[in-house]
Structure 1
């Protein structure tokens, strides 16, 4: 009797293990998604010139990208007839009001309104990224799968390439979005810098120090306090780090724009009268 009971227990345990194996995995747990994520992360570092996430643990990369506070999407090769979505993290799925099952495999053109002007703007951005490898500070109109329009701001688009240089797709990171009713979202939503004046060196230095300080705090939470990306305190501080980085990037953009305007002004030729007067 005891032997029979024991055998039944083993059978139940085995059945549970099989059931666990058959249980659907979260998207970030799927092998093909993990491999695609590693390719995306590597291309972001190489094309954009910075890590997509600070202090990224490679063993937790797919989960960290899935739970990132900014939106990440990718589609397959742009040169194909009709590129399809191959990845979207939770923030992107929420933004486009859809699910993983509904979005993946869908033509990526459906992320924008069907009117020719919007589609042309989107295609030009993708073509530019395909040619140059990356474009920064892209702003354009998109719409959710339920038809809600919104503007994505200061996006980065970059190519996805294999280690041999073969193009296999494109990806985008979105840190700031604004809906037609005026509401905004994304980790950079409240760090938007409206001024067009050249920032002072002191202003830029303070922003750089704020980024370094926040980055050090995130590292300390992980290395000294043993917290992980799943802990709320880490998530909150990573979100603040991203906002500070967005503000610093905005300051760098203002500096570059002011320098370009000054260079253009110096390049304007003087009129003949001005030349005579000057002589």
Structure 2
């Protein structure tokens, strides 16, 4: 059976509310702004984030970090369903030729906790390339301060030829 945190968000698991709280609380810590601020019902907020018109993703703390959350927009953009996406090492979301750039981004986030100005090239399952702009990337930590991975959110992308 698939681990609960890797189950696709749905009504039965409150749209992965615990994970969304981790993403939102961590973002509040670094930026002062959360993901669920304007919705009093947290499950509705988690559902809205899953179907939001922007991409929201996160990866864990494995030696080769694995994507552990990708909202519907991210799934469509990267051309992968939930089950496939949540088995993907996050490094494979970028072409090999831009891995050095991606590694520099992740180090910058690790050092500073948060950035809101990342732009870079990503690749979908089909090989289609797209540029993301002004992405927010932040470190995730639980209430005890334990590092839990990183998350990214972006609403601007352009398909490349």
TM more than 0.5: yes
> Structure 1 or 2: larger strand share?
2
Q: Any idea what SS the aligned residue of 1:27 has? A: coil
Question: Is the 2:56–2:154 Cα contact (8 Å) retained in structure 1?
Answer: yes
Number of the residue aligned with 1:133: 113
* Residues 1:65 and 2:49 aligned together: yes
Structure 1: runs of 5+ lacking an equivalent: 1-24, 182-279
Figure out how many residues of one structure are paired with residues of the other and give that number.
Answer: 153
Following superposition, the deviation at residue 98 of structure 1 comes to: 0.8
Measure the CA separation in 1 of the matches of 2:128 and 2:112: 31
Following superposition, the deviation at residue 52 of structure 1 comes to: 2.3
Number of the residue aligned with 2:103: 123
* Residues 1:143 and 2:143 aligned together: no
1:80-107 CA distances to partner (integer Å, 9 max, x unpaired)? 4200000000010011011001110210
Relative to structure 1, is the Cα distance of residues 138 and 167 closer, same or farther in structure 2, using a 3 angstrom cutoff?
same
Number of the residue aligned with 1:111: 93
> Structure 1 or 2: larger helix share?
1
* Residues 1:87 and 2:69 aligned together: yes
Relative to structure 1, is the Cα distance of residues 105 and 60 closer, same or farther in structure 2, using a 3 angstrom cutoff?
same
Question: Is the 2:36–2:46 Cα contact (8 Å) retained in structure 1?
Answer: no
Measure the CA separation in 1 of the matches of 2:19 and 2:32: 19
Relative to structure 1, is the Cα distance of residues 73 and 26 closer, same or farther in structure 2, using a 3 angstrom cutoff?
closer
Measure the CA separation in 2 of the matches of 1:69 and 1:162: 26
Measure the CA separation in 1 of the matches of 2:123 and 2:25: 29
Give TM-score, length-normalised by structure 2: 0.88
Relative to structure 1, is the Cα distance of residues 167 and 154 closer, same or farther in structure 2, using a 3 angstrom cutoff?
same
Measure the CA separation in 1 of the matches of 2:8 and 2:103: 31
Question: Is the 1:28–1:34 Cα contact (8 Å) retained in structure 2?
Answer: no
Number of the residue aligned with 1:261: none
Measure the CA separation in 1 of the matches of 2:42 and 2:19: 13
Number of the residue aligned with 2:17: 34
Number of the residue aligned with 1:168: 148
Number of the residue aligned with 1:44: 27
Q: Higher RCO, 1 or 2 (CA under 8 Å, sep at least 6)? A: 2
Following superposition, the deviation at residue 26 of structure 1 comes to: 5.1
Q: RMSD over aligned Cα, in angstroms?
A: 1.7
1:200-248 CA distances to partner (integer Å, 9 max, x unpaired)? xxxxxxxxxxxxxxxxxxxxxxxxxxxxxxxxxxxxxxxxxxxxxxxxx
CA radius of gyration, larger in: 1
